[in-house]
Structure 1
Amino acid sequence: MHLKQIVDALHLKILTQPIGLDEIEPTGGYASDLLSCVMSSAQRGNVWVTLQSHLNIVAVAALLDLAAIIITEGAQPDPATLEKAEQEGVVLLSTPLPTYTVVGKLWELGIRNPETTP
């Protein structure tokens, strides 16, 4: 499944340039608001679901080469965060839905981590 299909299915707002959304295929997903947990457990190509919207999320996503960040509960990044995401090629998406709901919808779409799928 491509990132564009996830954006459409979850009615996500695209916050950065939508370049390559038809080409990016997430490898799974990860949800956490603790950057240290994301850095130690998220996998390359994952979609990261978080309430955080500050500049440091971009650094973590770029470091791990994540497919995208879905920012939940209507939180909005500031202009500096958006600018840095554009520079780093990090896809930022947003939704008014809570993290729990977004994760459930991703699961229903088949976004799973191979090592944790029964």
Structure 2
Amino acid sequence: MNLKDIVASLDAEIVFLSNDCEIIHAYTGDLLSLVMKNAKNDSIWITVQNHVNIIAVASLVGIRAIILCDDLNFPSETVEKAKSEGISLIKSRDNAFVVSGKIYQLGIR
């Protein structure tokens, strides 16, 4: 499913869109080492982490987009790093559990 369709289904806000890529997998988690171990290439990452290190992890793993939950905001440093690495950033008012359930219902695993 392409990223714009996912965002529309979630009623979420695009903070930065690198490209409207195909998302095949999803991963929910806040511990960076577990994300590096378990997330897959072409994933969307659901988290409450917003610091700049999430961009390095996403780039290393091949994560294409990050959804920040609980109506939190990305710091400008994180947004700038995402732009340079081509990682899309999305913001949701919902918590990670709700966002994960919605993405699961879309058939993304």
TM-score, length of structure 2 as denominator length? 0.96
Taking the aligned partners of 1:27 and 1:109, their CA distance within structure 2 comes to: 11
* CA 41–19 in structure 1, closer or farther in 2 if over 3 Å, else same: closer
Residue segments in structure 1 that go unaligned for 5+ positions in a row: 113-118
**Equivalent in the alignment of 2:4:** 4
8 A Cα contact 2:18 2:87, kept in partner: no
More strand by share: 2
1:97 pairs with 87, 94, 97, which one? 94
| Deviation, structure 1 residue 29 | 0.6
1:67-103 CA-partner distances (Å, limit 9, x unpaired): 2100000111111111010011010101010000000
State the Cα RMSD in Å.
Answer: 0.9
Q: Is 1:82 aligned to 2:75, yes or no?
A: no
1:35-84 CA-partner distances (Å, limit 9, x unpaired): 00000110111110001111010110111111210000011111111101
Question: Could you say which structure has the larger radius of gyration?
Answer: 1
TM-score, length of structure 1 as denominator length? 0.89
What secondary structure sits across from 1:76 in the alignment? coil
Moved over 3 A (4+): none
Number of aligned residue pairs: 109
**Equivalent in the alignment of 1:29:** 26
